[in-house]
Amino acid sequence: MQRPQEYTAIFENVEVYNEKFTHLHFELKKPFRIKFKAGQFVSIKVNEEGVRRAYSICSDPDIDHGVEILLDTDPQGIGVKYLQNLKLGDEVSFHGPMGRFVVEDTADEEALILVGTGSGVAPLHSMVVDQLKNKEDQRPITLYWGLRYAAHLVWQDEFSRWAKTFPNFKFHPTLSKAEKEWSLCRGRVTNCLQVHDLPQNAGYYLCGGKAMIDDVKKVLIGRGIDSKKIHHEKFF
């Protein structure tokens, strides 16, 4: 695993999906290559005083000349305000890659269950791309993504395409405030996990807020999942 170091990058591109999510792309300037693992994060310098904020990398690890992040614009903290005020071509400084929230290289995990809420899907997006496209992983891989509203499912089409392309991949978007016509999982991700089949021999990767992590772990352990097979990244 690469040791973290300081990078200078250029703000290359931005896609504002909606009022909640924005996708940002940074092209590396110095050093101009980065070797990260899916699930890791970078710590971006967000003011002249040296304050930093951590953001999970959501991009393909095979692309080593830049990094991408998914920004949740609510709440409007110092990091969000800094990133929203960037102009294309601006230089940014970040430290990375960091974190041990990566897919375990072990034969004990015969399937992967990924559970994220909100922007907690960012590192899981990188994991899905890496396992399916780069590593050609044949194990069953299931992704649960919990949000409030269908309008915030900015990667639904992409994940649905992956599910059609790779028979071993399943995607379960879960809405806590779904419209009447919504026919998929309703409620919180824990509601789905309580009724879906959960393989005992899988690795479980959770990313989101502390309350969500604690609730999901409680459900998993209550259904007989070994706590050693549960990996997590808490955002706040």
Are residues 39 and 112 in contact, defined by beta-carbon separation less than 8 angstroms?
Answer: no
Q: Which residues of the chain have pLDDT under 50?
A: none
Strands 141-147 and 169-175: parallel
Q: Identify the pLDDT of residue 85.
A: 96
Report if residue 104 sits inside a domain: no
- Same domain, residue pair 27 and 132: no
Residue 215's closest CA among 167, 174, 180, 183? 174
> Which helix (DSSP H) or strand (DSSP E) does residue 182 occupy?
none
Select from 13, 7, 73, 67 the least CA-distant residue to 36: 67
pLDDT at 67: 98
In this predicted structure, what is the pLDDT of residue 127?
Answer: 98
Domain assignment of residue 105, yes or no: no
Please write the tens of the pLDDT for every residue from 73-97.
988 899 999 999 999 999 999 999 9
Q: What is the pLDDT of residue 236?
A: 59
pLDDT at 106: 79
Alpha helices in the chain (DSSP H): 78-84, 121-129, 156-165, 189-195, 210-222
Within 10 angstroms of residue 167's Cβ, the number of other Cβ atoms is 9
Query: In terms of domains, do 213 and 124 share one?
Result: yes
Do 41 and 96 touch, CB atoms closer than 8 A? yes
Cα(42)–Cα(39) distance, rounded to whole angstroms? Answer: 10
The CATH number for 170's domain is: 3.40.50.80
Predicted TM-score (pTM) of the model is 0.95
Q: Are residues 147 and 35 in the same domain?
A: no
Domains identified in the chain, total number: 2
On whether both 127 and 30 belong to a single domain, the answer is no
127: domain range?
111-234
pLDDT of residue 75: 83
